[in-house]
Amino acid sequence: MTESAISAHGLTKRYGRLLAVDHVDLEVPSGSVFGLLGPNGAGKTTIIKLLTALSDITEGTASVAGFDVQRNPMQVKQRIGWVAAEVILDDDFTAWENLWLQSKFQRLPEWKDRATALLKYFDLLEEKDRKVGTYSTGMRKKLEIALALLHNPSVIFMDEPTIGLDPGTRRMLWELISGVNREFGVTVLLTSHYIEEADALCDRIAIIDHGKFVALGTPSELKARVNADLVEIETARPMDQAVLQGLPGVRDVRSQGKGWILKVDSSEAMLPRLLETAKEHAIRRINVEKPSLETVFLDLTGRRIDQGGNETFDFRKFYTTVRRSRQ
Ligand SMILES: Nc1ncnc2c1ncn2[C@@H]1O[C@H](COP(=O)(O)OP(=O)(O)O)[C@@H](O)[C@H]1O
Ligand SMILES: [Mg+2]
């Protein structure tokens, strides 16, 4: 075994003319949690498919759990688990029967002790004879992870593990994923388009866009890269870039759709000036963003990771902040 649980060089996937994964280099140390963070269509699932030998690599190399994915796909598959975004449980079966089925898929002669230990760990032992169709979402997720761990894999892949879950269940799952990583010493590679999720769970993160890594590092390293507030502004009548650039405290201005993104030293300090200047242009929207993984993505690409999670600017909150900062 190498030090890296996952290692890829120039990993590339082409679908016809589309470069879904574009020369990606990746090193994931054993025992760590690594996150691929990016918007829909960025290439996250494709990377997982390449690393798990479910899809042919167009170009480049990858090794997982000590084996070359292209030369030894079977050895790789025996050593990895996969928690898919889609449901894989059989609703008409009990949890125990689902585990039995999994043991058949994996050709595991000895599985009952492990299955019992996993059910116990996930607090499902007393529910093992209930049909999975009657389980809550949280219980189903736990069982899916248990299935993926049954054959004692050294690396586990989780594709959007909490997509569509309510915030409570999502947080419960974060605890579980961290727990599994610690307790079972499993290396975790997960994909997400939720900023807080990647931030909360991952030791290191690759931010991915159009099949390319645009940034790579620990969550704090990534956030430190921006080290500025971002102010988005959209006006009915166009504003001049040079005017915005000339405002005190503005470090950088870039266009975003019909508006601008300003990189500023302190949003509290410069917003009154900005509002004053933008007044005649009929402000449509202003949004202030403090350093986060979202601002890293915004800064690098001019777009948001989760377009749906757009927060509009709350003027009341803003004026309270400005009033406070003047006192
Ligand atoms: N089997 C396929 N055939 C053609 N294009 C595909 C296929 N699978 C994925 N793609 C395309 O590759 C890109 C990356 O997709 P995907 O890896 O699923 O992104 P993500 O998981 O980040 O949302 C997208 O543009 C998608 O439409
Ligand atoms: Mg996907």
* DSSP track, 73-98: HHHHHHTEEEE-SS----TTSBHHHH
Residue 319's CB: how many other CB atoms inside 10 A? 12
Measured CA to CA in angstroms, residue 59 lies from 12, 65, 70, 157, 209 at distances of 5, 20, 11, 21, 19
Q: If residue 101 lies in a helix (H) or strand (E), which one and from where to where?
A: helix 95-105
- Is residue 40 within 6 Å of ligand 1 at its C-beta? yes
Q: Calculate how far, in angstroms, residue 316's C-alpha sits from the geometric centre of ligand 2.
A: 37
Q: Answer left, alpha or beta for residue 126, where phi above 0 means left and psi between -120 and 50 means alpha.
A: alpha
Q: In a structure prediction context, what are the per-residue pLDDT tens digits for the chain, which is 327 residues long?
A: 447 999 999 999 999 999 999 999 999 999 999 999 999 999 999 999 999 999 999 999 999 999 999 999 999 999 999 997 676 788 999 999 999 999 998 899 999 999 999 999 999 999 999 999 999 989 999 999 999 999 999 999 999 998 888 889 999 999 999 999 999 899 999 999 888 899 999 999 999 999 999 999 999 999 888 888 999 999 999 999 999 999 999 999 999 888 999 999 999 999 999 999 999 999 999 999 888 888 888 888 888 887 644 333 444 444 545 555 554
User: Does the domain made of 4-222 have the CATH classification 3.40.50.300?
Assistant: yes
Residues with CB under 5 A from ligand 2 (ion): 44-45
- Is residue 46 within 6 Å of ligand 1 at its C-beta? yes
Query: Model pTM?
Result: 0.83
d(Cα 241, Cα 196) in Å, to the nearest integer? 32
CATH fold of 225-326: Alpha-Beta Plaits (3.30.70)
Q: Calculate how far, in angstroms, residue 15's C-alpha sits from the geometric centre of ligand 1.
A: 8
Domain boundaries, given as residue ranges, for the chain? 4-222, 225-326
